């Protein structure tokens, strides 16, 4: 059955509906939220990313919980590394798809042709990726708390800081590389190849800060790592924003 | 430059391996429908992409609506709507959500009533809450026409507008082109099928191997020009 009426255009010539003639200027934040809202709405409908990354993370945590046994010291030592490995691999699954929807059906071309800031579009995508990664991380944290009997809340402020800065770094660089490889053929192979080496300093710092947060960080040993995280995020956030315009035009 | 709708001077574009356009020069002052004709690969789509500022000309210069193709990219993008082969809709979003997203990025407000009116005109109002992924190509094209009507640009570029449309769809496309013509909006439409576009156009540009084979009245195309 057709769910459209092919003949309704035979209306009087004067009866043409139209949009506004005025308009044009689009606020940076408005554009950022529009892109973010569109991406979240698309994901809510398709549930491709959420289903994939949740299934993957839950599976990995279960496998490790069986493999590592019940030694509390061993679990405590390995937990930060395991947490960031799960987050990294889940993030790659999500980041791969970030610009894929834009590449389909010429959506990216159309986005470029809107007179909106390309930085706002890039930032909108980045915020969406950041939200997905944080969501995974929070779920994994709680699962590890139950299965590994860990107390993550010895230093909740430090834990929140490392989650924020660590995930922000992954989202920033991941979105940048995702945009860079949008039009390449082997993007599923290219993304980890490009992203993983660049994320090594961030992951080292994140694991060390998470370890410190798990132990309460009574001696403030996490401070240099936290500064490294902050610098890393600042540099790559600024660099990604600077090149986002030419990157999307290309 | 006042009053000049389109002016091209020795415009050319080179892809990595070959020149798609070379020495294209023309001038048009009236707000009219210009058909760009020629066989496949003659440079029609490349010319439209340059006019839409999606491609930079390799050489030469030009203006559209008095705006320089190299220096006024943002202004041109505000004024000109380009409908290419790919229509740029998000499959997971509904027709209405796609239109709202497009309008929000154009800085225009589109309320439910206006969207409903436009979709009714395009014959797809019953599908307004359906995901665009479920649409046929013809329905997507109707939705793209709705987007143009909502946006109200000052010039329209249509690449193969009749492709993938059934008889009713083609009539609707023609009705839209005639409507824009009456509104005084210049329309540039590229097609390889001259029988569909010649009755609609005021002027014809025929390209052959990237060069201008003819530009002028559609009634007086010389018989030796390959359409």
**B151–A46 C-beta distance less than 8 A:** no
- C-alpha B48, offset from chain centre: 7
* pLDDT tens digits, one per residue of B2-30: 578 899 999 999 998 889 999 899 888 88
* pLDDT tens digits, one per residue of B94-126: 999 999 999 988 888 788 888 999 999 898 999
Three-class DSSP labels, A12-72: CHHHCCCCCCCCCCCCHHHHHHHHHHHHHHHHHHHCHHHHHHHHHHHHHHHHHHHHCCCCH
Contacts of B120 in chain A (CB under 8 A): 8, 17
Please tell me the predicted confidence (pLDDT) of residue B2.
Answer: 52
Contacts of A106 in chain B (CB under 8 A): 84-88
**A34–B139 C-beta distance less than 8 A:** no
**A110–B106 C-beta distance less than 8 A:** no
Give the number of other Cβ atoms within 10 Å of residue B115's Cβ: 21
Report the percent of chain B where pLDDT is more than 90.
51
- C-alpha A148, offset from chain centre: 26
**A4–B142 C-beta distance less than 8 A:** yes
**A115–B123 C-beta distance less than 8 A:** no
Residue B1 has pLDDT above 80, yes or no: no
Which has more pLDDT, B147 or A246? Answer: B147
Q: In the A/B pair of chains, how many CB contacts fall below 8 A? A: 141
Contacts of B86 in chain A (CB under 8 A): 105-106, 109
Please tell me the predicted confidence (pLDDT) of residue B62.
Answer: 93
Give the number of other Cβ atoms within 10 Å of residue B220's Cβ: 8
- From the list A11, A17, A106, the residue facing B87 with the nearest CB is A106
Alpha carbons B110 and B96: distance in angstroms, whole number: 10
Asked if the C-beta of A18 comes within 8 angstroms of chain B's C-beta atoms, the answer is yes
- Tell me which chain A residue has its CA closest to the CA of residue B99: A19
Alpha carbons A187 and A182: distance in angstroms, whole number: 7
| Interface mutation vs chain B, best among A1, A2, A3, A4, most B CBs within 10 Å | A4
Which region, left, alpha or beta, applies to residue A29 given φ > 0 means left and ψ of -120 to 50 means alpha?
alpha
Residue A227 phi/psi, 5-degree rounding, is -65, -40
- From the list B88, B117, B172, the residue facing A107 with the nearest CB is B88
- DSSP one-letter code for B204: E
**B85–A6 C-beta distance less than 8 A:** no
- Tell me which chain A residue has its CA closest to the CA of residue B113: A17
List the 110-169 stretch of A: residues with Cβ below 8 A of B.
110-116
**A9–B171 C-beta distance less than 8 A:** yes
Alpha carbon of A249: minimum distance to chain B alpha carbons (Å): 8
> What is the value of pTM for the model shown?
0.85
The closest of B166, B172, B177, B168 to B199, measured between CA atoms, is B177
The closest of B205, B216, B126, B175 to A13, measured between CA atoms, is B175
Q: Say which residues have a Cβ less than 8 Å from residue A100's Cβ, sequence separation at least 6.
A: A182, A187
Alpha carbons A174 and A176: distance in angstroms, whole number: 5
Alpha-carbon torsion, ordered B57, B63, B65, B70, to 10 deg = 50
* pLDDT tens digits, one per residue of B161-205: 998 888 888 999 999 999 998 888 999 999 888 888 888 889 999
Please tell me the predicted confidence (pLDDT) of residue A14.
Answer: 54
Alpha carbon of A123: minimum distance to chain B alpha carbons (Å): 15
- Considering chain B, what is the average pLDDT of its residues? 89
Contacts of B85 in chain A (CB under 8 A): 106
* B219, two tokens: 């009634």
Please tell me the predicted confidence (pLDDT) of residue B12.
Answer: 92
Blockwise average pLDDT, block size 10, chain A, 250 residues: 45 55 68 92 86 88 86 87 94 86 84 85 94 93 89 88 96 94 82 93 95 82 91 95 84
Alpha carbons A123 and A237: distance in angstroms, whole number: 10
| Interface mutation vs chain A, best among B107, B171, B173, B176, most A CBs within 10 Å | B107
Please tell me the predicted confidence (pLDDT) of residue A2.
Answer: 44
**B114–A6 C-beta distance less than 8 A:** no
List the 31-90 stretch of A: residues with Cβ below 8 A of B.
31, 34, 38, 41-43, 45-46
Give the number of other Cβ atoms within 10 Å of residue B60's Cβ: 19
Residue B63: enclosing H or E segment and its boundaries? strand B59-64
Residue B31 has pLDDT above 90, yes or no: no
Sign of CA dihedral A121, A127, A128, A129: positive
- From the list A9, A13, A106, the residue facing B86 with the nearest CB is A106
Residue B78 has pLDDT above 70, yes or no: yes
């Amino acid at each position: 059955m057709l769910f459209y009426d092919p003949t309704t255009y035979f209306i009087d010539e004067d009866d043409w509906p139209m949009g506004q003639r005025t308009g044009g200027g689009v606020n940076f934040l408005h554009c950022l939220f529009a892109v973010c809202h569109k991406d979240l709405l698309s994901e809510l409908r398709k549930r491709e990313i959420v289903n994939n990354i949740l299934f993957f993370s839950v599976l990995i945590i279960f496998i490790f919980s069986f493999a590592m046994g019940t030694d509390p010291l061993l679990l405590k030592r390995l937990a930060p590394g395991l947490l960031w490995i799960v987050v990294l691999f889940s993030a790659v699954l999500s980041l791969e798809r970030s610009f894929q929807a834009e590449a389909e059906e010429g959506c990216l071309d159309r986005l470029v042709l809107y007179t909106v800031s390309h930085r706002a579009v890039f930032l909108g995508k980045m915020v969406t990726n950041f939200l997905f990664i944080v969501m995974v991380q929070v779920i994994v944290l709680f699962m590890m708390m139950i299965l590994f009997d860990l107390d993550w809340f010895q230093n909740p402020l430090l834990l929140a800081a490392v989650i924020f800065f660590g995930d922000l770094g992954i989202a920033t660089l991941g979105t940048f590389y995702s945009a860079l490889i949008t039009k390449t053929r082997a993007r599923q192979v290219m993304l980890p190849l490009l992203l993983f080496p660049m994320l090594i300093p961030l992951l080292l710092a994140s694991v060390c800060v998470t370890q410190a947060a798990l132990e309460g960080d009574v001696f403030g040993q996490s401070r240099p790592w936290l500064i490294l995280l902050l610098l890393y995020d600042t540099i790559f956030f600024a660099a990604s924003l600077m090149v986002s315009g030419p990157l999307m035009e290309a | 430059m006042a009053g000049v709708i389109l002016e091209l001077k020795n415009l050319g574009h080179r892809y990595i391996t070959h020149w798609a356009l070379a020495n294209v020069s023309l001038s048009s002052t009236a707000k009219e429908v210009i058909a760009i004709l020629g066989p496949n690969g003659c440079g029609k789509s490349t010319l439209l992409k340059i006019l839409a500022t999606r491609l930079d000309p390799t050489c030469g210069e030009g203006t559209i609506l008095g705006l320089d193709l190299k220096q006024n990219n943002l202004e041109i993008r505000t004024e000109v709507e380009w409908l290419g082969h790919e229509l740029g809709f998000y499959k997971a979003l509904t027709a209405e959500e796609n239109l709202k997203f497009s309008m929000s990025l154009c800085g225009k407000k589109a309320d439910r009533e206006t969207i409903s009116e436009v979709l009714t005109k395009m014959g797809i109002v019953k599908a307004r809450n359906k995901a665009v992924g479920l649409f046929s190509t013809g329905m997507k094209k109707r939705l793209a026409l709705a987007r143009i009507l909502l946006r109200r640009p000052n010039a329209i570029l249509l690449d193969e507008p009749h492709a993938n449309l059934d008889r009713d769809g083609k009539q609707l496309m023609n009705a839209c082109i005639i409507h824009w013509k009456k509104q005084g909006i210049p329309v540039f439409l590229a097609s390889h099928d001259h029988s569909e576009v010649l009755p609609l156009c005021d002027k014809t540009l025929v390209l052959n191997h990237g060069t201008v084979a003819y530009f002028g009245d559609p009634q007086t195309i010389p018989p030796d020009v390959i359409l």
